[in-house]
Amino acid sequence: MAGFRQRVAGPVEIAMVAHPSVTLLVDLSEGGGVVRDAGGRRERGSFAAGLLPGRVRTGGRGGECLQIRLSPVAAAAVLGASAELTGGVVALDEVWGRDAGQLEERLRTASSWDERFAVAADVLGRRAGGRPVEPEVAHAWRRTVTARGRVRVEGLAEEVGWSRKRLWSRFRVQLGVTPKKAARLVRFDHAAHLLAAGHAAASVAARSGYADQSHLHREVMAMTGATPAAVAAAPWLAIDDVAWPAAPRT
């Protein structure tokens, strides 16, 4: 989880960059509120974005919001709709009903960000009784993430004792993407953060397992509609090391 407060007076708009998680953005503002633009539709309020949500822009005028990232394995338990969210962006109350509004009110009345994080963690924990993901699928997802997308479906199937066809089918049904698409997304995420850290595109291509710089360029364009240079300067990535530090800190 990460909390955000807009300090500038005017409206702000930021392009979201695809991430290997289901993202919840909870609107805590009393005024302007969070505005999202997905597929040419501008809507206001808290929302959930699944894996590979397409080109999404978010922003607003003033206010605060809480962003929660859930692995698709956790999202299946907490939301009960991990696979159904893939490729889409929907209002949070569409997946949580009136619980979404109650969560917003509890978070707004909290006296500190630490209290907000505790409230959100409590709500997530209480809701973690949805459809479980099979252990084999969860293992395949974790291996894909730890290997930064550089895995083969055949190898994952051997690890869990399933056929390639069965793993492909169960993975897609329960997480909403095929193992190959999951690997592409995780590999892209690793490359995008290397670009944001200032590494040259050729170096990023080699370190991330792309055939060459042209291959990296095509993948970045396919995922974001932007060039590697534009992704490197994306504000959504620039704040990641601050909002989501690799090591826990106070």
Say what the pLDDT of residue 34 is.
79
Confirm whether 2-127 and 135-243 share one CATH topology.
no
Long-range contacts of 184-187 (CB under 8 A, 24+ apart): 184/149, 184/219, 185/18, 185/20, 185/51, 185/52, 185/149, 185/223, 186/20, 186/144, 186/145, 186/148, 186/149, 187/148, 187/149, 187/150, 187/219
**Listed range (69-83, 176-190, 235-249) with the worst mean pLDDT:** 235-249
**Residue that has been written with the tokens 């590979």 in this structure:** 52
Which tokens belong to 176?
A: 């909403």
pTM here is: 0.90
Sketch the domain layout of the chain as residue ranges: 2-127, 135-243
pLDDT digits (tens, 9 = 90+) for 162-218: 999 999 999 999 999 999 999 999 999 999 999 999 999 999 999 999 999 999 999
> Which of the four CATH numbers 3.40.91, 2.60.120, 1.10.287, 2.60.40 does domain 2-127 have?
2.60.120
- CA distance linking residue 142 with residue 77, whole number of Å: 16
**Residue that has been written with the tokens 């109350």 in this structure:** 93
pLDDT digits (tens, 9 = 90+) for 111-123: 999 999 999 999 9
- CA distance linking residue 104 with residue 152, whole number of Å: 41
> Which of the four CATH numbers 3.30.470.20, 1.10.10.60, 3.40.50.800, 3.30.70.590 does domain 135-243 have?
1.10.10.60
- CA distance linking residue 143 with residue 130, whole number of Å: 23
